[in-house]
Chains A and B, each alone.
Chain A
């Protein structure tokens, strides 16, 4: 299991160091590496240094997120300029270690916002307390922020009555570790956000090389008690199952249903029930959480089509013309549209003409950035640019990175629709009708690229 956990700043100085197992102490460094030991925890110096020298200060790009130095394995993730590293000498579950590191980041973010050197220094006692609680002898324990907040002392929880204490422990270890009893709201309300990112890789000829939508359903719930929720969407398998009974419905909704390639759920969802009945039922955590993630690849509505035309005129000039077409209902508006057209490294000057929006050549980014605030569906717009090149002796041809695009549209490109979200709370006297529900669809560009 995890032998120790370290947090470094970008210089490789240790901000947090928590050792769970003794075996990780004895990492020997190669003799040739000269290390100036500054301020480090005395007995763990070796493991800590090994990581700094070999990973943080490594000259080349990181070649693997897992490094083995002297039979000790280092897992690391980087958040802004902070490195989190888990260290072990055993054959641990690698996926678990990374999941844990991400979870650790989530928990820290939930407690003190952005993960930065300053915030970590400001909250180091809290971090130690968290590390003590969520990792025992290197085994991850309950790491749900909701539960942690009830008994992590560093932020103000002082005394508990006996009942409260046992409530905490039963919650932390219980089946519903993510929600505490006795939550009350005057207004029972819930928000559902269907957030999709649509990914595309298209050939210059307009052939879809790969496209998929990865979506998330994020729920914000302000519900009293222990509400039992049931979520329904236009999942093809469910619709077809129901459709068997009533032939009419198949005709109507069959078209609108979507084929979900795969989905994963928050741990509150009863997976065995999903597996057997494909129904999504759960008791939600209080506040915001990600109910599910899903992926679809069939019948995706690609909101934009990019048509590139690049022509090399001699050795010192490039002519670029890019047309974008919006491909959705004319009544809808796409926002924050940005097209990024890469330019060669030896570009000396660019002249741009665009029909709509603003376009600029950004030398520092080696790209022409074309921004359009809004664009309705079924429209078309065009940009043309002349790129002057400096003559070079560089034999290597310009790699022509793909043209990428960013946008936001108010619908789900996968076609997913929320059919219902029913709330049952038998103990308290509110019913499904009393809950105010909000649903919103946002489609964003993921990696939306067209090769040119």
Chain B
């Protein structure tokens, strides 16, 4: 029997003939005719005209014919809704047929006919079928609820089908349970808020029982559903894990991956001290490796997932490097993925093997693969320091092959190696220069130019080399142009005598003949920098660069955690959250790993939490192209590292300052390098005027009313916005400083006003007048979701390095998160530095007062304060300003006070209060008169709040 004959009829009167055959009395002929109709339908012919005739064939007890007619109905009902009604009666009747196969068929097909009018009639039969005695009908009806929900969600809710569906989770038949779970999961996805899948220990137990008995597909539905459950404690998590682990031996890879998902998720809750935790880790490796012997398509899915798992828990597969070696016949997509995982697993222990493999791959045929292999060699060098030398020599071997794209790729990675191990492998530069002519890709050219510029002093003919690139300047890509500009400026700063002409040429090319604003701006900046202050230019352009970090291409931890919750699904294949590729509300529910429990978490294995540790130290990545400022300074986007003068601190001032004179003064200040407390050094004289230069800054900070009451501890100013969201890609930071029982802290509120999740926060301060520094890393425990705020109190100490700032209480702060690094500056109130033992002996006070020369005395007016002397005294004492004596002279109250700063500077004060006059007069005497003004500001702020 062959059906292909049905495809061949293309006669003109076909429809008419079919009509006649459909109405034939003979069953066989009818069946043949329906088959022909369906064949026509498949190849795209319009046979909707036959609708009534086909529907007429529906009333038959022949199951085969019935199935064919149903197939036809499913496809044409939507285009002919009115006629579809004709079929309803038969459907309803079939739903009561004694044969369960027909009942199920009817309810299944009805659900597929997406016509509103029909859905109304569907409700009653569906209700009956959900309670049918036959499990086959029930399992079909369960899916039908999901179908109906897709057409008309309201109807499903009104009719109470959801409750019936929930009841089916307790059904005696495993397949019914599985389908009910699948249907409920899907419905729940479109109602993220509803608690449809009310998972509790009892229902979980039922699911786990059904898991042992149902089909492979059912097991997948159940495991995927289990993965959404949040166990209440680690014991429950462990018991679920124990019952899920047998699934790792299933022949169906999807069952295995879904089980891995459940285990990976619930492992978060298990303490690492548990023996069971270790056992589980061991159990996970073999099934993951076995997935690699599946068909290539599944291997691909598995590899994409393993890529995530290796990033999340590198310990699982760290001994399995060999299985990721590429086979000659692997499809290219499998090869590329394996390569990625190999690099992630590379370590000192296996690097020799890995390198030998990579070298082998670099001679393969597929260009993409070869490029990736070459790049991988570079990444190995950066990751495993011990191997760097071998990697470099391997790369040199590859350059000798003279295969164009291999050479180019090798040069790009060698640039990164230079960044990681400066002054170590420069001997290879000569070899690189030989290949200058063969470079035709922008990235390789840019990398080569960077190398020449960076090491200009070692390359004799650097000027010639760069000049040769200059000839076709306007034909180069932006990347190359920018790099060339910087390189020539570097060259000029290193060898100013010979290259003046060259630098002028490139500057004029960049500024006058170019339409590219980035290039032009950079040109102007250099030009200006060079003409105003070549010394400063040198410090900026030739600043020491931070080293690049080992791991690149890591998935951002919050995204990684989310993707772990999606193991096995498309999201894990694309490495994107579902919202990136799913339309509408489905699947947009944000999933997250359960919070970690257990005490030993902070002592995690260092590999497990590379991102967190790294962030605190020095988050530097291979530079993103096109960030002008970062690029300009040849700095990666990281907070400044100690060592070179903080070029980055100038960044917060914005480009305006760079162009103006700001830079000069900044560099000047820095070079002075104030040692010690620095207050005796002849700094800029403290302005005598009252806060004129501070007008905006401090005024804003302190003039705010409605401050927080200070019941205990010193006065705390209300929080102000330090870093507006607009300037920081959606991160808003507001905060204030406080001092309580001797501890200084910076109270911050971080608000995420962007659409993406923020994580990996870290903070650093620039050197400042009083050595303020964070006493602990910035700890933001959970990633910050969009529109969320988090309040953090960052403890500070005063043991950081000291540099005099202007204004004195200026604090420059760098905050990093997963998106970028942001800089801002703020002024801190001086009273946070007033120490608790600042009360001076009376005699001592008098002696000191006399001892300090009169020119060190400063007088200020505190206006509009209506407090009496005692209240003032009390208030000030709260902030560690101590009243030593009180006198009444001619109706005026005189308060003599003392305070001490964290760095040991004493300040003595005389406060004159006239009962009738709301203006107080404050006289301050101090050996370091620069602070007086700021002490006054502190007085003013404390008294007015």
Contacts and interface: CB of A to CB of B under 8 A. Distances in A.
Contact of B300 (A65, A137, A209, A295): A65
A180 to B, nearest CB: 14
Nearest to A65: B297
A272 interface: yes
B44 A264 contact: no
Query: On chain B, which size bracket covers the interface?
Result: 35 or more
Contacts of B297: 65, 75-77, 98, 101
B221 interface: yes
A59 B139 CA distance: 44
B327 A102 contact: no
Contact of B363 (A126, A261, A397): A397
A285 B173 CA distance: 20
A122 interface: yes
A92 interface: yes
Nearest to B39: A124
A252 interface: no
A99 B3 contact: no
Contacts of A209: 322, 325, 353, 356-357
B38 interface: yes
Interface stretch (A36-44, A229-237, A328-336, A367-375): A36-44
A271 interface: yes
A142 B143 CA distance: 14
Given A136-B108, A209-B322, A271-B212, A1 B296 contact: no
Given A209-B322, A399-B363, A271 B4 contact: no
Contacts of A136: 108, 140, 143, 179
A189 B250 CA distance: 26
Contact of A94 (B173, B186, B568): B568
B290 A122 contact: no
Interface string B1-36: 011101100000000000000000000000000010
B542 interface: no
Contacts of A165: 99-101
B571 interface: yes
Interface string A181-213: 000000000000000000001010000011010
A91 B582 contact: yes
A267 interface: yes
Contacts of A203: 356
Contacts of A413: none
A293 B286 CA distance: 13
Interface string A92-116: 1111101111100000000000000
Contacts of B298: 95, 98-99, 102
Contacts of B224: 93
B43 A39 contact: yes
Contacts, number: 290
A143 B301 contact: no
B252 interface: yes
B729 to A, nearest CB: 26
B403 interface: yes
A122 B568 contact: no
B293 A214 contact: yes
B632 interface: no
Given A94-B569, A98-B298, A142-B175, A168 B325 contact: no
A290 B250 CA distance: 12
B582 A39 contact: no
Interface stretch (B64-72, B489-497, B647-655, B700-708): B64-72
Contacts of B7: 121
Given A169-B101, A262-B287, A399 B256 contact: no
A57 interface: no
Most buried by B among A170, A174, A449: A174
A42 B46 contact: yes
Contacts of A45: 44
A451 B35 CA distance: 56
A139 B568 CA distance: 16
Nearest to B6: A124
Contacts of B586: 90-91
A169 B100 CA distance: 7
A135 B445 CA distance: 54
Contacts of B144: 137
A151 B100 CA distance: 11
Given A98-B297, A128-B71, A66 B4 contact: no
A184 B901 CA distance: 98
A90 to B, nearest CB: 6
A7 B217 CA distance: 22
A102 B251 CA distance: 13
Interface in B161-186: 173-176, 179, 182, 186
A96 B401 contact: no
Nearest to A401: B328
B504 to A, nearest CB: 40
Interface stretch (B329-337, B738-746, B929-937): B329-337
Interface stretch (A15-23, A351-359, A432-440): A15-23
Most buried by B among A43, A95, A132, A172: A95
Contacts of B449: none
B251 A395 contact: no
A129 B331 CA distance: 33
A173 B327 contact: no
A141 interface: yes
Contacts of A263: 249, 290
A248 interface: no
B618 interface: no
B186 A267 contact: no
B250 A262 contact: no
8 contacts: A66-B570, A96-B568, A132-B70, A144-B215, A262-B289, A267-B216, A397-B363, A449-B328
Interface of A: 1, 14-17, 20-23, 38-43, 45, 61-66, 68, 71, 73, 75-77, 88-96, 98-102, 118, 121-126, 128-129, 132, 136-137, 139-144, 151, 153-154, 160, 162, 165-166, 168-170, 172-175, 177, 201, 203, 209-210, 212, 214, 261-267, 270-272, 274-275, 290, 292-293, 295, 395-397, 399-402, 404, 447, 449, 451
Interface of B: 2-4, 6-7, 35, 38-39, 41-46, 63-64, 67-68, 70-71, 75, 79, 98-101, 104, 108, 111-112, 114, 134-137, 139-140, 143-144, 146-147, 150, 173-176, 179, 182, 186, 212-217, 220-221, 224, 243, 245-247, 249-254, 256-258, 286-287, 289-290, 293, 295-298, 300-302, 322-323, 325, 327-329, 331-333, 353, 356-357, 360, 363-365, 401-403, 566, 568-574, 578, 581-583, 586-587
Given A91-B587, A399-B365, 5 more contacts: A95-B257, A99-B216, A142-B215, A173-B136, A397-B401
